[in-house]
Amino acid sequence: MNGDDVIIVGGGPAGLATGLFLCHADPARRGRVVVLEKERYPRDKFCAGALGARADQVLMRIGVGVDVPSVPVNGVSIALAGGAISVRSERIGRVVRRLEYDHALARASAARGVRICEGIRVTGVRVESQGVTVESNEGAWHGRVVVGADGVGSVVRRALGLSAGKLRAQVIELDTEPVPGDRDRGLLHFDASLPGVSGYAWDFPTLVEGQALVCRGVYHLRKDGAELDIHALLAARLAERGLDIGRYRIKRFAERGFEHGEPYAAPRVLLVGEAAGIDALTGEGIAQAIAYGAFAGPYLAEKLARADLRFDDFTRRLARSDLGVDVGARARILPHYFGNHRAALEQFLLKSPDFIALGMDHFAGRRLSRRKIARTVVSGAWQFARSRHAANTAPSTV
């Protein structure tokens, strides 16, 4: 199987978006970009499905809409150790099912000239002087460039000799019927008050075959490789609502966070999506996957046109992109939030609804004025300083 310009390993949002944006930037590549997906659509992908409206906006810039059943999101509620806060904002996003979303995005990609090959399980990648060879259960694929969009267990990432990464999260989720005591179905509900959890539990509204259900789960960032019994934690939370975890299909998966200083490219090879790293602070990944594709597609079009496949500036340019600034900033916050400053940061969040509203505006892809950002950040810094001072001067209870 020869002659492809770009071989994309992985048919999730990151891989499909990379193909879409590449073919849009350079229509001459249509038919010469192939996505290798190990499953067959429609295939399920374990994911809570929260999709910021900014992802839809990015796709609509090239005229692609993904119309699937979804639940509109009109705000968030957050429970913290010192209290709770709820902020409403209309239509900041939606909750989708990856079974339906990825299939629709694959159809849109195929209509734009991306070849989709299903049932192709990649087993190895070789980079050679004149191109790349991708080994699979269906033989070898030859091309000029390979893009690793194959998630946490990325074969392409391993071929680059990169480690699995330090920012790894363990996640468990399931879908249940609504129960008395569930909160507003129009909001995404996060509980970050759980002792010993570097992350949160969640309750998101969802639609499964037209039935209104609730996706419930736990996200825990493993620090120093330490694991948590998230199954027992979720079981206890369900029991509080009168639900027996044994009645439901349990879905477990892992996530990888974006890390500074990691190389995300080598000659003829790029990493995108979770093969590179997503937002480890919140675990959000779909919008970042689309953003990776929106960045990598035009980048590849430029480099292919110049026959410059060294990709030696990819990591630097990614870091300076809107996506890189976003995930990079969250990666910098991470050690502080899950470290000694957590109590002060939580008090700051409880007292700063404007800061949370700013985050929702970003999630929604709304245009943010520099003045509003500056005012919110300055106010937030002042509030954080006060919270930190109060935490440091509080009388000991020991």
Q: For residue 82, is it within any domain?
A: no
Same domain, 41 and 111: yes
Q: Is the pLDDT of residue 377 over 70?
A: no
CA–CA–CA angle 374, 324, 258 (5° rounding): 120
Residue that terminates a domain, selected from 327, 353, 375? 327
Same domain, 241 and 352: no
Q: For residue 311, is it within any domain?
A: yes
Same domain, 183 and 138: no
Average pLDDT of 304-319? 96
Q: For residue 194, is it within any domain?
A: yes
- For the chain, the domain total comes to 3
Tell me the C-alpha distance between 251 and 151, whole Å: 16
Same domain, 11 and 100: yes
Q: Is the pLDDT of residue 380 over 70?
A: no
Tell me the C-alpha distance between 269 and 42, whole Å: 28
Same domain, 133 and 264: yes
Same domain, 297 and 189: no
Same domain, 64 and 112: yes
Domain that residue 357 falls in: 340-393
Tokens 């946490």 map to which residue? 152
Q: For residue 335, is it within any domain?
A: no
* Diameter of the chain measured on Cα atoms: 71
Residues in the chain: 398
Q: For residue 83, is it within any domain?
A: no
Greater model confidence, 338 or 32 = 32
The pLDDT value given to residue 171 = 97
Q: For residue 121, is it within any domain?
A: yes
The pLDDT value given to residue 310 = 97
Tell me the C-alpha distance between 218 and 208, whole Å: 20
Q: For residue 387, is it within any domain?
A: yes
Sign (positive/negative) of CA torsion 3, 61, 189, 207?
Answer: negative
For residue 6, give the DSSP letter: E
The pLDDT value given to residue 398 = 34
Q: pLDDT (tens digit, 9 = 90+) per residue, 24-57? A: 999 999 999 999 999 999 999 999 999 999 999 9
The mean of the pLDDT values for the chain is 91
Q: pLDDT (tens digit, 9 = 90+) per residue, 142-159? A: 999 999 999 999 999 999
Residue that terminates a domain, selected from 207, 233, 256? 256
Tokens 């990591």 map to which residue? 315
Same domain, 13 and 141: yes
Same domain, 300 and 345: no
Same domain, 28 and 52: yes
Q: Is the pLDDT of residue 371 over 80?
A: no
Q: Is the pLDDT of residue 66 over 50?
A: yes
Residue that terminates a domain, selected from 241, 256, 271? 256
CATH number (domain holding residue 21)? 3.50.50.60
Q: For residue 373, is it within any domain?
A: yes
Same domain, 129 and 194: no
Q: Are 137 and 39 within 8 A, CB to CB?
A: no
Same domain, 319 and 177: no
**Rounded percentage of the chain residues whose pLDDT exceeds 70:** 91
Q: Which of 161-170, 201-210, 263-272 has the lowest mean pLDDT?
A: 161-170
